[in-house]
Amino acid sequence: MSIDMVFSLFGGLGLFIYGMKLMSDGLQKTAGKKLKDLLGMLTTNRFTGLLVGTLVTAVIQSSSATTVMVVGFVNAGLMTLRQSIGVIMGANIGTTVTAQLIAFNLSHYAIHAIAIGAALFLFGKKDRTQQIGQVVLGFGVLFLGMSVMKETMEPLKDSHVFLSMMKQFNTSPLLGLVAGAVITCIIQSSSASIGIVLSLLSVGAMDFAGAVPVLLGCNIGTTITAILSSIGANRTAKQAAAVHFIFNLLGSVIVLALIYIIPDFMDMIYNGIYRLTTGILRATPTNERLLANAHTMFNVINTIIWIPFVNFLVWLVGKIVPGKDIVIERGLKYLDERMLETPSFAINQLKAEVLRMYDIAVEMFEETVKAFRKYDLELVKYVENKEDIINELEEELVKFITKFPRHSMSKYDIRVINMYFAIIDDIESFADDSEEIAELLRFTNENAIEFSEEALETVEKCFQYISEMVEDTKSLIKHFDIKTAEKILASEISMDRYQIENRNGHIERLGKGICDPNAGIIYLEVLDALEHISDQMADITHSILEARGLK
């Protein structure tokens, strides 16, 4: 293989991966929020999780994106380990849509798709139009990459050395499995690996028997993305990533063992897929179509075999990665509309629900602080996931509060309800501020912005100061104590002064050219967000004092 062929091959692969990323990103922008909500809300059992995982992955064209979201949900406690297993199995089925799409060999339309997609993306006035353009553009670039890889690999069918290497996958399927796993781990895309295999098949440089073991290896290698995303996450998230690896590994190893144990088992696979394909399509299929169908059938059968054994998989990863399964329940936990018949009891339960919401917001703040201290962008994802839960809780709590029968309630109870209404809004703002700081950290990391030691020291002092206020406010909501209320209000005033002092000092340093202007902007925005959190704690205190008739 010449240097020109190597560059052409990697250039084609680069186009393929870039096209797939463009298409996946465009699809996620178009439907990502709804699909993300679907992932979090419709995974009550393994079967709904399976369907949702299949649907989401088929739409966004990326099992890696789905499994990373799942690991994030599990780490944030928004999904149990058992729920995640169904979604992961579904993601394995959904990802086969990419191979099915590639097998249609639409390379002749690649330039047409690029032209149309680029026009929509570059000149579209609406976000929706640009997103659709990005999807179409990605589709075209993907197939252009496939076309380049096929043209590059065409001469390989006449290379005795290369064909001899490919034949080794027939005689040593284990070698093919390892090769597929290693290649997929390196490029972190099973679809790209399968795209290479389909290109080799299409030009006759590889046969079906040699391609199947590589395909099995691709299924194992694709789990590396979820494993990497679980680094630094909690044990339950690591268990979810481990399930993905074990599930794919067991399925692939079983098929590999059957290839070695049963004579002509590969021929049995080929004939079975061939009969199934011709029975559905009523036409002579290509080798690419047969392999794409084999990919789909493998993942479907593997799921059918293992889905009854979800509890076993949970037990197994519990032994491999010991840890407690955590979950944050979605929706209202302590409230039910039937409680409204006894408003005084409903108010007590409302307090428990508000405290639960506050605890989630506190966890967001603590994770934001930890992310800022360690420059950990993975924690930013978990903060964002919890922000979604906070928004859901706010919406449901506000709906519940509006249904209280105020005409039959005492003035004091009405004041208490109004107090909780205000507190809920303050908690949501508190969560927003935490997410804003997390997003500033992401911006800082992406743009390689570094803070001075003095700035970091100031931010750290503010973190500690706000953490104490947050704890005091929780105590105030739970037990009401006038001294705690006075302490919070005094702390808020002190925080205002501290922020102004550091803002003026920092502006002075900027004027002298001591500090990086970009770092200075982020620094001031972080201080503003922290000062705003102190305002929310003070607002909660004022609301409580008003309800108690002390203001």
Which tokens hold the place of 2?
């010449």
| pLDDT(34) > 70 | no
Residue 362 has pLDDT above 90, yes or no: yes
Best mean pLDDT range from 4-8, 51-55, 420-424: 420-424
What pLDDT is stored for residue 57 in this prediction?
83
Exposure pattern of 491-523 as b/e (b: 16+ CB <10 Å)?
A: bbeebeebbeebeeebeeebeeeebbeebbebb
* pLDDT single digits (tens) 105-164: 777 888 999 999 999 999 988 888 988 899 899 888 988 988 888 888 888 777 777 778
Q: What is the pLDDT of residues 491-545, one digit of tens each?
A: 999 998 888 888 777 777 666 666 677 777 888 899 999 999 999 999 999 999 9
Q: 246 falls in which pLDDT band (50, 70, 90)?
A: very high
Q: What is the pLDDT of residues 58-76, one digit of tens each?
A: 877 677 778 877 887 777 6
**Cβ neighbours, 10 Å, residue 543:** 21
**Per-residue confidence (pLDDT) for residue 530, from 0 to 100:** 93
Tell me the one-letter amino acid at 330.
R
State the chain's mean pLDDT as an integer: 85
pLDDT confidence of residue 249: 94
Please report the pLDDT score of residue 521 as a whole number.
83
Cα–Cα distance measured from residue 549 to residue 425, given in angstroms and rounded to the nearest whole number: 21
Query: What per-residue string of b and e applies to 449-485 under the rule 16 or more CB within 10 Å gives b?
Result: bebbeebeebbeebbebbeebbebbbebbeeeeeebb
Average of pLDDT values for 378-383? 79
Residue 474 and residue 489: Cα distance in Å, rounded? 14
Looking at residue 125, what is its pLDDT? 85
What the chain holds in terms of domains, given with CATH numbers, is 3-320 (no CATH), 337-547 (1.20.58.220)
- Highest mean pLDDT, choosing among 226-235, 354-363, 367-376, 379-388: 354-363
pLDDT of res. 523: 85
pLDDT value of position 442: 85
Token pair recorded at residue 183: 């290649």
CA separation, residue 474 to residues 110, 355, 502, 540 (Å): 58, 8, 28, 10
**Separation of alpha carbons 235 and 217, rounded Å:** 26
Q: Measured between alpha carbons, how far is 486 from 484 in angstroms, rounded to an integer?
A: 5
Cα gap 387→364, rounded to integer Å: 8
Say what the pLDDT of residue 382 is.
78
Q: Assess whether pLDDT exceeds 90 at residue 323.
A: no
Q: Are 81 and 236 in contact (CB under 8 A)?
A: yes
Q: How far apart are CA 251 and CA 297, in angstroms?
A: 12
Which of 1-10, 40-49, 136-145, 284-293 is the least confident region?
40-49
The proportion of the chain whose per-residue pLDDT surpasses 90, expressed as a percent, equals: 34
Check residue 17 and give its pLDDT. Answer: 85
Instruction: Give yes or no for residue 16 having a pLDDT over 80.
Output: yes
Task: Report, as an integer, the average pLDDT of 195-224.
Answer: 89
Q: What is the pLDDT, as a whole number, of residue 418?
A: 94
Q: Which residue has the higher pLDDT, 339 or 460?
A: 460
